[in-house]
Each structure stands twice: as structure tokens, then as C-alpha cells.
Amino acid sequence: MLAYILAGGTGTRFWPMSRQQRPKQLVRLWGDETMIETTAHRLAEPAQEDGVFVVCGPDLVDPISGTLSDFPREQFVIEPMARDTAPAIALAAIQTLERAGDVPFGVFPADHYIGDDDAFGRCLAAAESAADDGHIVTIGIEPSRPETGYGYIHYDDADGAGSGDAPSVHSVEAFVEKPDRKRAKRYLESGEYLWNAGMFVMKPSTLLDEMERQLPQMYEGFLRIRDAWRTEAHEDVLREEFEAMEGISIDYGVMEDARDVVCVPADFTWSDVGHWAALDEVRETDEDDNVIEADAILENVENSVIFSEDSDRLIAGIDLDDMVVVDTQNAVLVLPKNSAQKVRDIVHRLRESGRDDVL
């Protein structure tokens, strides 16, 4: 199985640690590894080292090479420009066909947290086997709260028990977009819904068949890209086709109407670590439930995130509850945890006012 790390994200919600030239997947949010390093290490065993690829834009090749030491340049799959996940995954399909034939490949976000690599490997093995049978396979996450920030997978939890220790495989009834609070509660209580974590495994032919049916124009583009694959025109054709392509997500463009999707419910903890306030899902907290990655002096500080890029700077906090303080070389961010989603708004305002110095 080939594994593709989707590393095109910009991760504005982790500003000011994440920047244009250092998106979230290149940030060290815990321990010594960047998120993409952790993701690559996790995939190295199921996919074998030379079967792991990184899909990203040309700007990120150097920064990612800097963190993934010894990662060969030929294992980068370069999108000439960002067109959301459907084209990125189709590109992975074409490259799989050209490199290994019509064998299962998986796509994985570069910047998610997974709590148990062994359990992840078992899910992947079950997914690979189902993909080999012609299914599109997604790995879904058992919801732990009525989250309104994720898409959901409505699945049939009755069928598909796995044999022995092997994870079970179930048919998917529908992909559901981000619900409101009330719906999210119903999904959680029903036990018939999983979080859509954006992890998919399938054969190239399975994906391309669905694209031919649902996104015929994009499909034609990828046929032309495939025809030029080993020619001198490769790069030019790739750029032309991407330029002309409409950006669309794999969920909206393919999965919602795909004919044959199955899912493997994950038996590992997972988080998309979507913003600063989510750090306590994936990092150890101190006795006051703080996540601290800084030289910090705190007085009556609870449930907070205190994060500094630079260990030479001290962060002092007094009487804080549920707050986020992030310190970097040229920018400081302070906000309540509940407002963590609004960091995007700040980044948008900075873009509008041309503040490249802090972007």
C-alpha cells in the first residue's frame, strides 16, 4: 500500500505559531517532532518507507524537507496550486497507478493526532483489504462529544464484524456535513455516526471511476495529466490542468454520492487538533489542567494554554482561567479558549492589511 500525506493545509488557526511558510503541520505542538514528522513515522511501517509520499504545493517542499530528514525529493507529489482535496487525492491516484499499478493507496492529513500507532496500523490493514475488494474505505472516529466542527459518517453498525482481533468493516449510508448542536447530539446518542477524519483508502481505479461519473471535467483533466506523466510536458500539463480546475473537497466532490463506501471504526484516540483550545486533547496537562510549553511563571492559572516559541522568553500569567497565551518571535496572541476559532479572523485581517511580516 502506498500512503500519501496531504500537507497542503495552511493552518491559520494556530497563528502565530503557524505561518505561511510554516503551516500547522510544520509546527512542534508537542514534544520534539513536527506534526508531519509524527505522521510520516506512523505511516512508515504500514506503507514501508519508500511507499510514503507527501502531497503539497511547491512552496512547502523545502520547509517540509527541513523537518523530514532523509525524505527523498522524488517522494514529493507537487500540486502546482491549491485546489482542495479532490484534485490532491486524484493526483495521488495517478501517481500510484504509474508507480505501482492499481493497488490500494491511502491519504492522510499531515496534522492530526493519533493516540495509538499499533491500533492505527490494524485499522489500515483492514482498510487496505477492503480497498483491494473495490470499496472506497474511510477510517471513522467514534465521537466523544457532540462536536459541530466535523463532518460525520452515518454507518451501519450491525453488519461487518471483523474476524478475531481484526477491526470490523461496515457499509456507509451517508456522509453528513457539519451538523448543528442539536443534530450533533442526536448523532452522538444514536451510536450510528462516526467523525469523518479525512482518512481514505482505495484503489486508483475505484476513485477514477467515481470521478468519471461525478466530476467528468476533472476526470478528463487527470487523464491528460496521466498521458503526460513520463513526458517532458509533464509539468506544463499539470500546471495547465490545475489552473483550469475548480477546487473541491473529496467529501463534497466524491464521497457524498459515491456508490460503494465502507468504513473501519477506529479503536484509537484521535484529534484534528483544530485550534489552540484543542491542545489539551493531545498533550499532558499540569495539575491545574494547563498545557504549558514555555518558560512560564503562573499564579492561579487554570485550564489554560501557555505556549512560547522561544525558551528565552518568560510568560507570566496571573488569575487566568480558560485562556490561551501564545508568544512568538514577532507576535503575541491572547484570547479565551472559547474564542480559539476566531484566530482565523485575525489572520484574515492581517492578510487584508498586507502584514506579511507576521504572516
Of 69-77, 132-140, 181-189, 316-324, the window that binds a second copy (rule: CB under 8 A) is 316-324
**Interface with a second copy, residue 312, by CB under 8 A:** yes
Q: Which of 16, 104, 106, 109 binds a second copy (CB under 8 A)?
A: 16
Using the CB atoms, write b or e for 127-137: b if 16+ within 10 Å: bbbbbbeebbb
Q: Which of 181, 182, 313, 351 binds a second copy (CB under 8 A)?
A: 313
Residues 6+ apart with CB under 8 A from 194: 140, 141, 142, 143, 152, 153, 155, 263, 265, 266
Of 60-68, 220-228, 231-239, 317-325, the window that binds a second copy (rule: CB under 8 A) is 317-325
What is the distance between the alpha carbons of residues 357 and 42, in angstroms, rounded to a whole number? 34
Question: Among residues 52 and 343, whose Cβ is nearest to a second copy?
Answer: 343
Question: Among residues 244 and 297, whose Cβ is nearest to a second copy?
Answer: 297
Residue count (the chain): 359
Question: Among residues 131 and 320, whose Cβ is nearest to a second copy?
Answer: 320
**Interface with a second copy, residue 299, by CB under 8 A:** yes
Which among 4, 222, 23 is positioned nearest to 92, based on CA atoms? 4
CA of 198: how far to CAs of 138, 250, 350, in Å? 8, 9, 29
**Interface with a second copy, residue 343, by CB under 8 A:** yes
Residue 326 CB, shortest distance to a second copy, in Å, is 9
Q: Which of 32, 118, 330, 354 binds a second copy (CB under 8 A)?
A: 330
**Interface with a second copy, residue 70, by CB under 8 A:** no
Question: Among residues 217 and 300, whose Cβ is nearest to a second copy?
Answer: 300
From the number of C-beta atoms within 10 Å of its C-beta (0-12, 13-18, 19+), residue 146 rates as middle
Residues 6+ apart with CB under 8 A from 340: 13, 275, 276, 277, 278, 324
What the block records as the C-alpha cell of 38 is 509524527
18 touches 344 (CB < 8 A)? no
**Interface with a second copy, residue 356, by CB under 8 A:** no
Question: Among residues 21 and 231, whose Cβ is nearest to a second copy?
Answer: 21
**Interface with a second copy, residue 110, by CB under 8 A:** no
Question: Among residues 189 and 321, whose Cβ is nearest to a second copy?
Answer: 321
Question: Among residues 161 and 314, whose Cβ is nearest to a second copy?
Answer: 314
**Interface with a second copy, residue 323, by CB under 8 A:** yes
Rg for the chain, CA atoms, rounded: 21
Q: Which of 349, 351, 354, 356 binds a second copy (CB under 8 A)?
A: 349
Residue 311 CB, shortest distance to a second copy, in Å, is 11
Q: What does residue 43 show for φ and ψ, rounded to 5 degrees?
A: -85, -15
**Interface with a second copy, residue 277, by CB under 8 A:** no
What is the distance between the alpha carbons of residues 280 and 179, in angstroms, rounded to a whole number? 24
273 touches 111 (CB < 8 A)? yes
**Interface with a second copy, residue 348, by CB under 8 A:** no
Omega of the bond leading into 16 within 30 degrees of 0 (cis): yes
Question: Which residue has cell 524537507?
Answer: 65
Q: Count residues near a second copy (CB under 8 A).
A: 34
Q: Which of 31, 156, 338, 356 binds a second copy (CB under 8 A)?
A: 338
Of 30-38, 175-183, 218-226, 323-331, the window that binds a second copy (rule: CB under 8 A) is 323-331
Instruction: List interacting residues with a second copy (CB under 8 A).
Output: 16, 297, 299, 308, 312-320, 323, 325, 327, 329-336, 338-339, 342-343, 345-346, 349-350, 355, 358
